[in-house]
């Protein structure tokens, strides 16, 4: 049980990372901001990551993601990869990828597995090898070791230990890892956003080498990349039968900043930008939304607003509500309760969404609401 330092409320749904309840974050963010920023700084300092996105007037601008860092000479961008070396940006280029990869048997535990070709056979025979799940095949899972967000509950926080690792992997090498039993590539992380030039080039090479068979290009991302790069990623997914899975982490900008360290404006703009994909290829669905149900912070109000936003664009967009497991700087919270997950699903459907699913059911608890 923790006490909110702003309003005095006691609850098991208050994390020591903030010492503030979600209501105070929403109502008076400027008051609670110093404590929240201090936690974000500590979480980055531990891995020698830049404490904030640099905005030096004499710096070189990076346009890969929404941070639009102005990087001073000798400095690094918020992601930790992009560097200003004597006025030239290096790192996170198309020919060098800071990543790891592995093969994941299909169907896999993917955010979109309940609607995608690999998990259901959707789009068969044009985009899937089977009219059902693609048993016997595998996904090439590409994990990028960098991110444009700083989620305090990050489920894959260990990547931060490898942001500065060498050597890097070329797009040609990665593309050669696609064999005849690999019908899809999924880029995730961290997040693929800071290294999209590399992912795009690797995808094009792989598609050219496998142009006579099915190879889907998929993305799992926070959606905060440069819109031009997003358009390129979307085009590859559309043509190949893949999808873009965007994590809408919170609706209220203050809550989003508390949880991730950055604004959600670019993510929401980009999500809206992608809706046109659905008219071009309604099946299998090219755009999927997801939200991690962080206890106490991603509450009914947040989910209702996110669902209303999605439904206003297209009620057919699949929406996955994901169970939370305590991690990183928010390890003091419990898991998402089954009651909360079911209530959020109900609310999302009440807002007009037709395809809502609860993911990570095995993580749900029967504890407090």
145 to each of 79, 99, 150, 219, how far by Cα in Å? 9, 5, 13, 15
pLDDT at residue 154 in the model: 97
pLDDT at residue 368 in the model: 52
Split into its structural domains, the chain has a count of: 1
Mean pLDDT of the residues in the chain: 96
Q: How do residues 185-231 score in pLDDT, each as one tens digit?
A: 999 999 999 999 999 999 999 999 999 999 999 999 999 999 999 99
Residue 369 has pLDDT above 90, yes or no: no
- Cα separation, 188 vs 154, in Å, equals 13
Going by C-alpha positions, the residue among 98, 213, 254 that lies closest to residue 166 is: 98
Does some domain include residue 273? yes
Does some domain include residue 350? yes
Does some domain include residue 183? yes
Mean pLDDT across the stretch 329-340?
Answer: 96
pLDDT at residue 92 in the model: 84
pLDDT at residue 264 in the model: 98
Residue 173 has pLDDT above 90, yes or no: yes
- The whole-model pTM stands at 0.96
Does some domain include residue 48? no
Take residue 330 and report the two structure tokens written for it. Answer: 């928010």
Does some domain include residue 69? no
Q: How do residues 22-58 score in pLDDT, each as one tens digit?
A: 999 999 999 999 999 999 999 999 999 999 999 999 9
Does some domain include residue 358? yes
pLDDT at residue 83 in the model: 95
Going by C-alpha positions, the residue among 74, 67, 69, 78 that lies closest to residue 88 is: 74
* CATH code of the domain in which 301 resides: 3.20.20.70
Residue 265 has pLDDT above 80, yes or no: yes
Mean pLDDT across the stretch 255-284?
Answer: 97
Residue range(s) defining the domain that contains residue 342: 99-363
Q: How do residues 85-135 score in pLDDT, each as one tens digit?
A: 999 999 889 999 999 999 999 999 889 999 999 999 999 999 999 999 999
Residue 355 has pLDDT above 90, yes or no: yes
Does some domain include residue 68? no
């Amino acid at each position: 049980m923790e006490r909110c330092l702003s309003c005095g409320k006691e609850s098991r749904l208050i994390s020591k990372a903030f010492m503030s309840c979600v209501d105070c974050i929403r109502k008076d963010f400027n008051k609670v901001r110093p404590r929240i920023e201090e936690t974000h700084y500590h979480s980055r300092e531990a891995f020698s990551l830049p404490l904030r996105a640099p905005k030096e007037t004499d710096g070189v601008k990076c346009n890969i993601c929404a941070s639009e860092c102005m990087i001073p000479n000798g400095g690094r961008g918020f992601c930790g990869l992009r560097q200003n070396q004597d006025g030239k940006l290096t790192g996170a280029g198309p020919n060098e990828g800071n990543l790891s990869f592995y093969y994941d048997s299909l169907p896999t535990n993917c955010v979109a597995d309940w609607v995608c070709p690999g998990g259901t056979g959707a789009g068969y025979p044009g985009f899937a090898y089977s009219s059902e799940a693609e048993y016997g095949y595998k996904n090439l899972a590409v994990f990028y070791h960098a991110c444009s967000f700083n989620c305090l509950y990050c489920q894959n926080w260990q990547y931060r230990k490898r942001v500065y690792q060498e050597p890097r992997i070329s797009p040609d090498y990665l593309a050669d890892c696609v064999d005849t039993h690999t019908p899809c590539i999924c880029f995730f992380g961290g997040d693929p956003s800071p290294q999209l030039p590399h992912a795009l080039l690797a995808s094009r090479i792989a598609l050219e080498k496998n142009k006579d068979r099915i190879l889907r290009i998929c993305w799992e991302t926070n959606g905060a990349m440069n819109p031009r790069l997003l358009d390129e990623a979307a085009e590859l997914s559309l043509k190949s039968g893949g999808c873009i899975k965007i994590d809408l982490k919170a609706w209220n900008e203050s809550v989003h900043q508390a949880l991730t360290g950055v604004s959600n404006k670019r993510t929401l703009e980009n999500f809206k930008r992608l809706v046109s994909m659905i008219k071009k290829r309604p099946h299998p669905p090219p755009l999927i939304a997801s939200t991690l149900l962080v206890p106490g912070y991603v509450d009914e109000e947040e989910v209702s607003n996110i669902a209303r936003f999605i439904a206003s664009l297209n009620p057919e967009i699949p929406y996955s509500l994901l169970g939370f497991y305590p991690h990183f700087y928010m390890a003091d919270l419990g898991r998402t309760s089954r009651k909360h997950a079911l209530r959020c699903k109900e609310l999302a459907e009440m807002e007009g969404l037709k395809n809502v699913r609860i993911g990570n059911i095995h993580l749900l608890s029967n504890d407090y609401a």
